[in-house]
Amino acid sequence: MKKIGVAILGLGAVGGSTYQILTRRREFYERTQGIEIEVESTLEPVRERAERLGVPAEKIAANIAEIVLDPDVNAVVECIGGVDVARKYVLAALHAGKTVVTSNKELIAKYYPELVRTAKMNNAGLYFGASCAGVPIVRTLLDGVQSNEISALIGIVNGTANDILTKMEERGCSYEEAAAEAETDRAAEEISINVEGIDAAYRLSILASVAFHTKVPAAKVFREGIANVSPADLAGGKELGYRLKPLAIAKRTKDSIEVRVHPAFIRQDHPLASVKAANAVFLTGDPVGDVMLCGNGTGDEPAASAIVSDLIFAATHGEHRYSAFGDTAAGVRSAVFATDFTSAYYLRLTVCDEAGALAKVASVLGKYNISIAETVQKRAADGKATLILVTHETRESLVKKAVAKLNAAQIAQVESVLRVAL
């Protein structure tokens, strides 16, 4: 029976769960996969964490050199987080010819070209399925739909942001209330990377790179957070048959690549609309058509499960597989990234409650070639009315100009602008 010796760097939530899974389910992997996975070493600066997990004293390394020089360690699992120390340790492991499995989305998004070159030079594996969304989307792209040309990827890849919007919709509470509860539930997380779309942008960078076989830097991802979403917008969208979700969207045409992360309305009958406390990714490819993967994207166990799956994949395949997207500076320069993307838009405006108010707004929008698809108007207080519009698809730049004109001309006060994914 083939044996693989593993070292785990970092025994926090994900690393600790990985250790527990590998020790608890060792016999299961021997029986079903024909491999023996043994945790040979761990590296954790807070020694009490290792002791609480029951890690034997002789398997707690003092430094990365011990692990790199250990002949019994074939694979290194990186669960440190951040990029400075993690990059240093991962490169050391790869230079030693040891396969690396990581859940570190920031590390992969920023340094994949360097890491994969080092892995190839030293005949070491580099696997990062756990870095994206808590569902097996990376493995699906590499080994499930590889016969397809992927043209679009749309998903909910941050469970915290999705949970906050779901609470706001179901309870009618404010963003501040829902975010405070999420922060309490996830005391170990930095809430800002979730609600500002930073986490999702890293993940979309990786997913788009794999899906489109082209390096998509995280810096190219348009990003907008959910902090400005109002309960009034959630209610207004619902009345028109939409639900607001924190979406990651990637599209590829013959001319350019479009990548963006922001809250967006989707039709209530779209499969993603029903995803609440979970993550999901919806792919469109030729010839397969539409494919959707959904799973519990929050918490430590989904990530740990993905790490163990990558370990098993590496152990059961004779040759290492590397993601087939461009990993050179020239490859990045050859790609064209769209900045003025096309979308439908939701606008919530305050107007005077008088005849012709909608016509005045429509006239301004028409000057920028923006047409209205749906509208709802409700009387408010003090002679005002709330006007909600959904436009047909148009350019982002045109919507910004039209909104500025409406506000400047005092035709309406634009309270909110959100995108609609059709």
Report the distance separating Cα 199 and Cα 398, nearest Å. Answer: 29
Provide the residue-wise pLDDT of the chain in tens; the chain has 422 residues.
789 999 999 999 999 999 999 999 999 999 999 999 999 999 999 999 999 999 999 999 999 999 999 999 999 999 998 999 999 999 999 999 999 999 999 999 999 989 999 999 999 999 999 998 678 899 899 888 999 999 999 999 998 999 999 999 999 999 999 999 887 765 545 788 999 999 999 999 999 999 999 889 999 999 999 999 999 999 999 999 999 999 999 999 888 999 999 999 999 999 999 998 789 999 999 999 999 999 876 668 888 999 999 999 999 988 888 876 655 544 556 678 888 999 999 999 999 988 888 999 999 999 999 999 999 988 877 889 999 999 999 999 999 999 999 999 888 999 999 999 97
DSSP state of 392: P
3-state secondary structure of 337: strand
Report the distance separating Cα 248 and Cα 252, nearest Å. Answer: 14
Backbone phi and psi for residue 204, each to the nearest 5 degrees, phi listed first: -65, -35
What string of DSSP letters covers 58-116?
Answer: GGB-SSHHHHHT-TT--EEEE---SSHHHHHHHHHHHHTT-EEEE--HHHHHHHHHHHH
What are the structure tokens assigned to 384, written together?
Answer: 């005002």
Residue 269: predicted pLDDT: 94
DSSP H or E stretch at residue 179? helix 175-185
C-alpha torsion sign, points 141, 142, 145, 149: positive
Report the distance separating Cα 15 and Cα 26, nearest Å. Answer: 16
Asked if 233 contacts 168 with a C-beta cutoff of 8 angstroms, the reply is no
Residue 343: predicted pLDDT: 96
Residue 306: predicted pLDDT: 92
Report the distance separating Cα 227 and Cα 371, nearest Å. Answer: 28
Q: What is the pLDDT of residues 386-398, one digit of tens each?
A: 999 999 999 999 9
Q: What is the pLDDT of residues 254-308, one digit of tens each?
A: 889 999 999 999 999 999 999 987 899 999 999 999 999 998 766 688 889 999 9
Residue 188: predicted pLDDT: 47
C-alpha torsion sign, points 113, 115, 116, 118: positive
pTM of the model as a whole: 0.93
Structural domains present in the chain? 2-127 (3.40.50.720), 146-296 (3.30.360.10), 342-420 (3.30.70.260)
